[in-house]
């Protein structure tokens, strides 16, 4: 067995900002080199313990190996290199983009299927068409934000990134993403229907927040609690790194 603590080296590289794929490749390459050195020593007539000790001396200690890898900026991950942009800006842009995609896709689908003209003439959509639109908006209003928050946690935990920027980003994402509400009134009896999509909270003026209720605060609470619980219980590094080096 190798006296090098590969798990410690792995964690040090991740904390230093090295991308997980480069960490895995580095550990594999160093492990292969260590095995080669050890095998060379045994072939030269050394005992296994002596060959292992010489291989470790030639390879270097954990601190030397870590510093050598960390000195290469091209191995750093984007979240570690640009934490504010990645954890503060990117999630907010993602949730805004998701709403834009939903609105545009529904409008394009309605236009191509002739729904818009049918609605204007007092026509009726099929039940499955109404359900598809309702589900599409429901998922975007109530599930996209929690999903993005959990993704932020997973990325930060996998890279052993300090929690301050991810936490601030999750709070910002949750506040912005949980303020959306929609209402669809399908046309009945020849009358016109309408669709509204607004953003706001009850502490904002009615003109700004629209007709929102406690569902926004419930969504904020659920999202933040889920993110906090996921951060606490999700530990991708809990299993001890094993090797036959």
- Tens of pLDDT along 191-220? 666 667 777 776 655 555 555 566 778 888
The 10 Å Cβ neighbour count of residue 203 is 8
pLDDT at 120: 47
Who has greater pLDDT, 190 or 72?
A: 72
Residue 8 has pLDDT above 60, yes or no: yes
Least confident span in 38-42, 51-55, 107-111: 107-111
Residue identified by tokens 């904390």 is 15
Q: Average pLDDT of 168-196? A: 79
Residue 122 has pLDDT above 50, yes or no: no
Enter the pTM of the model: 0.80
Q: What is the 3-state secondary structure (H, E, C) of 174-234?
A: HHHHCCEEEEEECCCCCCCCEEEEEECCCCCCHHHHCCCCCHHHHHHHHHHHHHHHHHHHC
- Alpha-carbon separation of residue 95 from 80, 90, 143, 168 (angstroms): 22, 9, 10, 16
Residue 119 has pLDDT above 70, yes or no: no
């Amino acid at each position: 067995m190798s006296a090098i603590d590969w798990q410690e080296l792995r964690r040090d590289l991740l904390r230093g900002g090295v991308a997980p794929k480069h960490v895995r490749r580095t550990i594999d390459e160093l492990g292969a080199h260590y095995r080669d050195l050890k095998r060379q020593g045994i072939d030269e007539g050394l005992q296994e313990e002596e060959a292992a000790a010489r291989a470790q001396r030639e390879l270097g200690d954990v601190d030397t190996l870590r510093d050598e890898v960390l000195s290469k900026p091209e191995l750093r991950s984007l979240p570690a290199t640009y934490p504010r942009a990645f954890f503060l800006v990117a999630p907010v842009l993602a949730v805004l983009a998701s709403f834009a995609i939903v609105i545009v896709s529904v409008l394009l689908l309605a236009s191509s299927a002739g729904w818009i003209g049918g609605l204007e003439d007092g026509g009726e959509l099929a039940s499955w068409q109404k359900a598809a639109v309702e589900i599409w908006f429901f998922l975007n209003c109530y599930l996209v934000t929690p999903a993005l928050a959990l993704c932020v946690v997973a990325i930060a935990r996998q890279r052993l990134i300090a929690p301050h920027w991810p936490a601030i980003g999750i709070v910002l994402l949750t506040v912005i993403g949980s303020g959306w509400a929609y209402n669809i009134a399908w046309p009945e009896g020849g009358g016109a229907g309408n669709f509204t999509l607004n953003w706001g909270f009850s502490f904002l003026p009615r003109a700004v927040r629209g007709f929102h209720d406690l569902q926004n605060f419930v969504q904020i609470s659920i999202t933040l609690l889920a993110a906090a619980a996921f951060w606490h219980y999700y530990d991708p590094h809990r299993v001890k790194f094993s090797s036959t080096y």
